Chains A and B, each alone.
Chain A
Amino acid sequence: MRRYFARKLLIYALTFVAAVTVNWMIPRFMPGDPVAAMVARARVSQPEAAEAMRSYYNNLFGFDEPLWQQYLHFWGALLQGDFGISIFVFPTPVGDVLLDALPYTLGLMIPSVLLSWFVGNWIGALSARRKVLDNTVLPVGYLLTAMPYMWIAVILAWAFGANAGWFPISGGYSLDITPGWSTAFVLDALHHWVLPFLSLFLVALGGWAIGMRNMIIYELESDYSSYLAALGAPQRLIRRYAFRNAVLPQVTGLALQLGVLVAGALVTEIVFAYPGLGSLILASIQNQDFFLLQGAFLFIVIGVLIANFLIDIVYVVVDPRTRTGMAGGTS
């Protein structure tokens, strides 16, 4: 068991290094020059002054060093928790900008991912082998899962925001409230949270329900189900076993889907101008803000890795077959 987790941790560490390296490379090899943009924004007319600014910024951000040195410095700073200084909201440190945005993204992601998974599995399991329910769940599920995130977001914003006026369609909170732990702010934030949450929840829900329905049917056709039925076991017991075993691939699916779900959340945030990581990423790309982009990607990478690791642990707990594999097996 210990060896298994040690090996897993090593794999995660390697993934982390590779992901961070790619993160570092992407903005740097992107076309465009952020310093030039900053200088242009300052509207300096004299060439000497512009040159001075350019060399000041290049030095400040470390762009005058050779690439390999920038890379090493980047790692050194990273390990001290220093993500650099944002170019877009200069001179706020990237870490602070990200920490402000993180609660919004997590508050959107975690409930929508978990709730859609649980509710989807439940609906899927219920609909398997029940004609009427199946005939509604299947088409609705396909419809939901085929919808692009931003499209359903726009539809929801139009229907419940613009038309019905029940929910605000942009922002994470009203502009006339200062963020804090007051009841008024929490309620206001919840109000703003509903539509982005719903759009993430609904799209994922369809996929989980269809997956679970298919898995349950597969399990109900399996040999152990027929054996139990031949021995006259009630449907209740057979379905319980089938559900338990059908959940296993769904757990794996959750691990595989996390990346996609994160991407969906980012797009949804942009549609609703929700102040999370997604909106920050968009802003940092538009402003060629290397450091902010790197930092945001880094947070996402860390989040996905942690979530995957948790799922690995859960899987070991729920599937005895993985445990015997670790112990070397006895058969």
Chain B
Amino acid sequence: MTLTVNDLRVHYRTLRGEVRALDGVGFDLADGEILGLAGESGCGKTTLGKSLIRLDGRMRHAGGTVTLDGDELPLSDDRAMNAYRFHKISLVPQYSMSALNPTRRIGRMIRELLASRGVSVDTGELHRRLALVGLDPDVLERYPIELSGGMKQRAVMVISTLLDPSVLIADEVTSALDVSNQQAVVGALRGLRDKGLVTSMIFVTHDLGLTSHIADSIMVMYAGKLAEKAPTKVLTTEPRHPYTKMLIGSLPQVGARYKDKPLSGIEGSPPSLLNPPAGCRFRDRCPLADSRCAEEPPVVEVAPRHSVACWKAA
């Protein structure tokens, strides 16, 4: 087991109180697994991705543990986490387009970054990895502004995986790309895993359709909690949680005519996480909700590797 997350709670400190963005999430990530992390904006998926590598100034580790390759990660100790960052756990950020220092040539930035981590650059290996994502070695002599958005994204992918991390967090990496670039990026990410440059991967996205192309299993989150986690095929064909069902139902299909049957969305919006209501957090929007849902549903393994947090799923 590469990564074990147990009841992780991360809160945002705000002037009005603590926002419970991540309110007790647990899951396992196996060796070689690509986990798709899906959900709408504000469900806590990015917070989860960030918590695993670096809490920013507003975030507070409120409870739970994360174990990586047998070591418990010191999440709230920024200095101690440095030993794990980049070497063991790495990140392709949401903001890849602006992740590179604009006034340094990319090659020089890589050299300085690696030197600061006490690693020397293997130029041949670096060139080989650039070629793997379809980049010319001469991007190393360029400034970020001279690269297109897609090229910057791929350069960041190469940099983030240079030290062969155990876990790579790819946070919304495809959000800003067009469809053909999305395919290229997804293909490149899977290539990194297949060649063993990255052991396992967490692919954070709001695009359930795209996730199903890359992920081995998918975890759907809702309002800071796990809703459903299952192997990709199971989750897309026989979802159990009403939220997952509605999420899949609201995906447009190519070639379908929506004139007769309008595309259904999910009515309403998620609850505020400043003071979340007790019980199932989806119940205000759920068509199946009844009195039992006022009680919080536990995460139950309904089938092997298929967990659901819903009273109606069993």
Contact = CB atoms under 8 A, between A and B. Distances in A.
Given A222-B98, A231-B85, A321 B53 contact: no
Interface string B61-92: 00000000000000000000111111100110
A222 to B, nearest CB: 7
B99 A223 contact: yes
A221 to B, nearest CB: 9
B100 interface: yes
B54 A230 contact: yes
Q: By CB atoms of chain B within 10 A, which of A222, A230, A231, A324 has the most?
A: A231
Place the interface of chain B in its size category: 35 or more
B119 to A, nearest CB: 11
Nearest to A224: B101
A329 B90 contact: no
A223 B143 contact: no
B116 interface: yes
Contacts of A145: none
Contact of B143 (A224, A231, A244, A321): A321
Given A223-B95, A324-B143, A331-B146, A237 B112 contact: yes
Interface residues of A, number: 26
B213 interface: no
A227 interface: yes
B194 interface: no
A224 B99 contact: yes
A245 B103 contact: yes
A224 B100 CA distance: 5
B116 A329 contact: no
Nearest to A242: B101
A234 B116 contact: yes
A17 B54 CA distance: 57
A228 interface: yes
Contacts of A231: 85-86, 90-91, 113, 117, 159-160
Contacts, number: 86
A114 to B, nearest CB: 22
A244 B102 CA distance: 10
A223 B93 contact: yes
Given A230-B91, A231-B91, A329 B146 contact: yes
Contact of B93 (A230, A233, A244, A318): A230
Interface string A223-254: 11011111111101100010011001000000
A321 B100 CA distance: 13
B103 A319 contact: yes
Contacts of B143: 320-321, 324
A232 B148 contact: no
Nearest to B50: A230
B12 to A, nearest CB: 16
A178 interface: no
Contacts of A321: 102-103, 143, 145
Interface of B: 53-54, 56, 81-87, 90-91, 93, 95, 98-105, 112-113, 116-117, 142-143, 145-148, 151, 156, 159-160
Interface of A: 222-224, 226-234, 236-237, 241, 244-245, 248, 318-321, 324, 329-331
Q: List the 3 closest A-B pairs by CB distance, nearest first.
A: A232-B85, A227-B99, A223-B98
